[in-house]
Copies of this chain bind each other. A is one copy, B any other.
Amino acid sequence: MLSRLRSVEGSAAAACDAWPLMEAMYPICRSITGDGVRQTLDLVQQRLPLQRTEVPTGTAVFDWEIPKEWNIRDAYIADLQGRRVVDFREHNLHVVNYSTPVQRSMTLEELKPHLHSLPDKPDWIPYRTSYYREHWGFCLRHRDMERLGPGPFEVVIDSTLVPGSLTYAECVVAGRTQGEAIVYTHTCHPSLANDNLSGIAACAALAKELRGEHPRLTWRFVFGPGTIGSLAWLSRNEPRLGRVRAGLTVGLLGDGGALTYKRSRRGDRVTDRAAEHVLRGVARARLVDFEPYGYDERQFCSPGFDLPIGRLTRSPNGQYPEYHSSADNLDLLRPECFAESIRALADMIALLDENRALRNLSPKGEPRLGKRGLYGSLGGGAPGEFEHALLWVLSFSDGEHDLLAIAERSKLDFHLLARAAAALEDAGLARPLEEEPPAMKLGAHV
């Protein structure tokens, strides 16, 4: 499964292929609502069928409600000569995201509370938002801030904040069983490349490839805004959550940092074990424990849902210098790192999809494999690797171990064990636990 993306060559080709998409998405001013998100999804949809959902302003989602929709056409601070000293058209980070409209003449003194800069990074524009308190402001290079005269300035934000809707989209790859898996990536950041065009492009590549397979689980790739987007998705999919066997939130997949898997809240779920298994083979990769700050894993892992969902990034949020600034641009992305991220994700998805717990249907003693053509007939010498894999799967198909647990314990290759499991299923000697009552299924997947 996903064998092309799991190879070095295939993942490099997919990374190459993703570059024009990221370049096209980069200039768009995205936010948690608005046309910027829709235009972004249009670009993705050129590669991938998407199901879109519009959730109207005011809709209750748990403790929250969908905010007004924000759109922006222009914004600037101009001096007396009409020269734009801060210009949204030059960089969309210049406006505090979700700023209310303004058109006013102001002195520097009056304007200052609305200006944000990074004194220790004077050449970078910071990224600021104000989604849930009506507010406006500008972000600018500290170097430029210091050059501002006393004013007065003409201050204009040509935005709208009115009832509308929040937009998210899904690419659903249907599976052969009732189980489901989620891959969520946030789409709300404006011109920031690693955070999170890299996540959108990686998901598009993975979803596109997976559509050519027949997975065991139904895989839902969800493209939505941070926090309110995952909350909206959860609120509209709550009855289905009992089917979720695994999942990931992904983003920040292109920088030069080490691959970093953040465990689910419980830390011992199948996604966590799969990450440990896969990342053991990736140079520099590391696993960190859950903390309740970060991206949408915060919502998926909240105690009321407690889903088996971890997070894969390279540098985590806030842990690279360019984070949430104009320096997080396309130049920050390293193709070989982005390709490695795709490869690791493909490995994890393939493993999570093929993983299953089986029930040994002939559990009293070993079944006679020889009479089924599964075991060499001449005794006295040692059996081969596939015969060992058959014995391991039979021995631990006891309702307490899945194939991943057997791989960890036997040190045999996971995919060899999956082939042995398939042979035993074909021979009628084992059956996936998912065909048993739900109580067993849950036990086997915890």
Stretch at the interface among A43-51, A179-187, A201-209, A388-396: A388-396
Contacts of A265 in B (CB 8 A): 395-396
Q: Which residue of chain B has the shortest Cβ distance to A398 in the bound complex? A: B303
A363 to B304, Cβ gap below 8 A? Answer: yes
Residues 358-383 of A, flagged 1 when their CB comes within 8 A of B and 0 if not, give 00101111111011000001111111
Contact with A366, one of B96, B298, B365 (Cβ below 8 angstroms): B298
Residues 327-360 of A, flagged 1 when their CB comes within 8 A of B and 0 if not, give 0000000000000000000000000000000001
Asked whether any CB of chain B lies closer than 8 Å to the CB of A103, the reply is no
Contacts of A306 in B (CB 8 A): 398
Q: Which residue of chain B has the shortest Cβ distance to A189 in the bound complex? A: B380
What's the Cα separation between A379 and B127 when bound, in Å?
9
Total chain A interface residues with beta-carbon distance under 8 A: 62
Stretch at the interface among A69-77, A130-138, A273-281: A130-138
B293 to A360, Cβ gap below 8 A? Answer: no
What's the Cα separation between A360 and B305 when bound, in Å?
12
Known contacts: A265-B395, A395-B292. The answer to whether A324 contacts B367 by CB under 8 A is no
For the complex formed, measure the closest distance between the CB of A292 and the CB atoms of chain B, giving whole angstroms: 4
What's the Cα separation between A135 and B409 when bound, in Å?
36
A395 to B365, Cβ gap below 8 A? Answer: no
What's the Cα separation between A398 and B303 when bound, in Å?
6
B293 to A391, Cβ gap below 8 A? Answer: yes
Contacts of A133 in B (CB 8 A): 370, 377-378
For the complex formed, measure the closest distance between the CB of A157 and the CB atoms of chain B, giving whole angstroms: 16
B130 to A365, Cβ gap below 8 A? Answer: no
Asked whether any CB of chain B lies closer than 8 Å to the CB of A126, the reply is yes
Asked whether any CB of chain B lies closer than 8 Å to the CB of A318, the reply is yes
Contacts of A365 in B (CB 8 A): 61-64, 230-231, 234, 298-299, 302, 304-305
Q: Which residue of chain B has the shortest Cβ distance to A383 in the bound complex? A: B293
What's the Cα separation between A293 and B383 when bound, in Å?
9
What's the Cα separation between A62 and B365 when bound, in Å?
7
Copies in the complex: 3
Known contacts: A303-B397, A392-B292, A394-B292. The answer to whether A126 contacts B364 by CB under 8 A is no
For the complex formed, measure the closest distance between the CB of A43 and the CB atoms of chain B, giving whole angstroms: 24
Residues 124-150 of A, flagged 1 when their CB comes within 8 A of B and 0 if not, give 001111111101000000000000000
What's the Cα separation between A129 and B298 when bound, in Å?
60
Contacts of A132 in B (CB 8 A): 368, 370-371, 377
A129 to B380, Cβ gap below 8 A? Answer: yes
Q: Which residue of chain B has the shortest Cβ distance to A362 in the bound complex? A: B63
A128 to B378, Cβ gap below 8 A? Answer: yes
What's the Cα separation between A388 and B298 when bound, in Å?
12
What's the Cα separation between A379 and B377 when bound, in Å?
69
Asked whether any CB of chain B lies closer than 8 Å to the CB of A17, the reply is no
Contacts of A178 in B (CB 8 A): none
Asked whether any CB of chain B lies closer than 8 Å to the CB of A301, the reply is yes
Asked whether any CB of chain B lies closer than 8 Å to the CB of A291, the reply is yes
What's the Cα separation between A92 and B129 when bound, in Å?
78
Contacts of A380 in B (CB 8 A): 97, 126-129, 324
Asked whether any CB of chain B lies closer than 8 Å to the CB of A3, the reply is no
Which A384-423 residues have C-beta < 8 A from chain B?
388, 391-392, 394-398, 409-410
Contact with A363, one of B61, B64, B303 (Cβ below 8 angstroms): B303
- List, sorted by A's number, 26 A–B pairs whose CB atoms are closer than 8 Å: A63-B364, A64-B368, A97-B380, A126-B380, A128-B378, A130-B379, A132-B377, A133-B370, A133-B377, A135-B377, A135-B378, A265-B395, A265-B396, A289-B409, A290-B395, A292-B394, A299-B366, A301-B395, A302-B364, A302-B394, A302-B395, A303-B360, A303-B394, A303-B398, A305-B363, A305-B365
Which residues of A does B touch, CB under 8 Å? 61-64, 96-97, 126-133, 135, 227, 230-231, 234, 265, 289-293, 298-299, 301-306, 318, 324, 360, 362-368, 370-371, 377-383, 388, 391-392, 394-398, 409-410
Having A126-B380, A133-B377, A299-B365, one finds 14 other A-B pairs with CB under 8 Å, namely A61-B365, A63-B365, A128-B381, A129-B380, A130-B377, A132-B368, A132-B371, A132-B377, A135-B378, A291-B410, A292-B391, A293-B383, A301-B395, A304-B365
